[in-house]
Structure 1
Amino acid sequence: MQDLPGADTRIALDLVLTVRHDGHGSVADELADLAGLTAWAGDHPGIVPDGERFTADASTLAAVRDVRAAARSLFARAVRPGEPSPADAGRLLPVPEALGRLNEAAARIPTVPVLAWGDAAVPVVRSVPAQGARADLAAVLAQAVIGFLAGPDRQRLRACHAPRCVRYFLKEHPRQEWCKPSCGNRARVARHQERHRRTG
């Protein structure tokens, strides 16, 4: 098993979920500005060293948003033959471009493998930043996205197609169709209204 520096691979899903429905018919972006990225990083301690003191700058925000665009494009590919999130359908990057952006960002932090082997555990290889490597939020997030897409969770990834939802989620059980119960309720109400319109 391989972990990634500074974050587990589930942070990849958290990054993608910074694009969400705002509850009023529009798509909200938690990373729309420097304050948003600063707050989001603060809500995810351990992503980068000294994350509690992290303050976003314009270049970091642009790099993180670039990684997120690549991740959302590759998540859309991962849910095939299902449809991507409606938020992505009209703005997906071509797969080669998304891969290139992701790999380029991930390469900004050189890593080395480190073996960990606890008393009652199996050996685990972790990739950690090479000595002297500078913390780079976009690189850490890109490596987490790569780990997510190459790992077992990719098989459970789905796009929620409830009305107004733009989220991706991990399918927890065979009958799960939506990211959360409220989306399931909205989808059932929408189907009921559609049937009523057709018969009425």
Structure 2
Amino acid sequence: MNDSLGADARLSLDLALTVRPDGRGGVADDLATAEGLTEWVRAHPETVVAGSGRAVEPGVLGFRAGDAELAAVREVRAAVRALFAHAVRPGEPSPADAARLLPPRDAVALLNTRAALVPTVPVLSWTEGADPVVRQEPVGRQGSAVHPGSVAHQGPVASLESLVHQEPVVSPEPVGEGADLVAALARAAIAFLASPDRQRLRACHAPRCVRYFLKDHPRQEWCTRSCGNRARVARHHERHKKSA
């Protein structure tokens, strides 16, 4: 994956790619269990836990997902993958869940609802010798500052083509103790989908692949070289079958 990707794009893609090829022609789900979610969160400390306002240490090592957190994160992932499918049109979506995608209107409403679980404010930090950095911190957390008369930022409102001003039409799952995590994932997805990077999003249609990816160059058709090799071999065999 391109190292120049921003944190929001990388996190959104990583969440979507927890649905992946299993190496045997099927589909694996890294978030099938609460243990799987726990492992995934611990692998993303700088983008999930620190980004949501929790302390990285011992916050990540101490994080343990339960059934409520798992259901809520899977719900956000379903919304993300539905909007990824919407974004790659007129191309075909990933075949992993093409037959059971949320309607785009519902997916947008769900992300907006989840992003608002933890209102945030922008916080500026500027270390000597480095560029200034702005991060979103939950209102009232240590290090956040909300001045009288200011309005807490609740994350950008998703707008994808004509999908604007959506009313919530879904009933989100309870989030348990995972409000920070779920809100951070939803905010990252909203920021990515509203960014120019969305136009580079594609579904890989190499044999046995179900991934989404961002094109690094205009002629890129597949997510990896191995997928490109499989696709070329499949095309070669198909041509020989037709000519036989």
Q: TM-score, normalised by structure 1?
A: 0.90
Alignment RMSD, CA only? 2.0
Partner of residue 39, structure 2: 39
Check whether the contact 1:45–1:52 (CA below 8 A) recurs between aligned residues: no
Which segment is superposed worse, 79-88 or 110-119?
Answer: 110-119
| Aligned position for 2:167 | none
Structure 1 residue aligned with 2:200: 156
- 2:113 aligned with 1:99: no
The yes-or-no answer on 1:126 pairing with 2:135 is: yes
Q: Does residue 56 in structure 1 map to residue 55 in structure 2? A: no
Give the conservation status (yes or no) of the 8 Å contact 1:20–1:27: yes
**Counterpart-to-counterpart distance in 2, 1:11 and 1:97:** 21
1:115 deviates by 3.1
Name which of structure 1's ranges 59-68 and 139-148 shifts more when overlaid on structure 2.
Answer: 139-148
Say whether 1:115 aligns with 2:124: yes
The DSSP-based 3-state class of the residue aligned with 2:98 is: coil
Residue 78 of structure 2 is matched in structure 1 by 69
- Tell me how far apart the structure 1 counterparts of residues 231 and 204 of structure 2 sit (CA, whole Å): 10
Q: Secondary structure at the match of 2:135?
A: strand
Q: Secondary structure at the match of 1:77?
A: helix
Unaligned runs of 5+ in 2: 1-5, 143-176
Normalising to structure 2: TM-score of the pair? 0.74
In 2, the alpha carbon distance for the partners of 1:182 and 1:132 equals: 45
Following superposition, the deviation at residue 98 of structure 1 comes to 0.5
User: Which amino acid is 1:131 matched to?
Assistant: G
Aligned residues: 194
Q: Which amino acid aligns with 1:83?
A: E
Determine the C-alpha separation between the residues in 2 that align with 1:157 and 1:44: 22
> Hey, what does 1:82 align to over in structure 2?
91
Separation of aligned partners in 2, 1:54 and 1:121: 31
Cα distance, 1:38–1:122 mapped onto 2, change above 3 Å: closer
Deviates more, 1:31-40 or 1:82-91: 82-91
SS at match of 1:86: coil
Per-residue deviation at 1:136?
Answer: 2.1
Supply the distance in 2 between the matched residues of 1:24 and 1:122 (Cα, whole angstroms).
46
Letter matched to residue 17 of structure 2:
L
Structure 1 spans left out of the alignment, 5+ residues: 1-6
Counterpart CA distance in 2 for 1:112 and 1:196 is 60
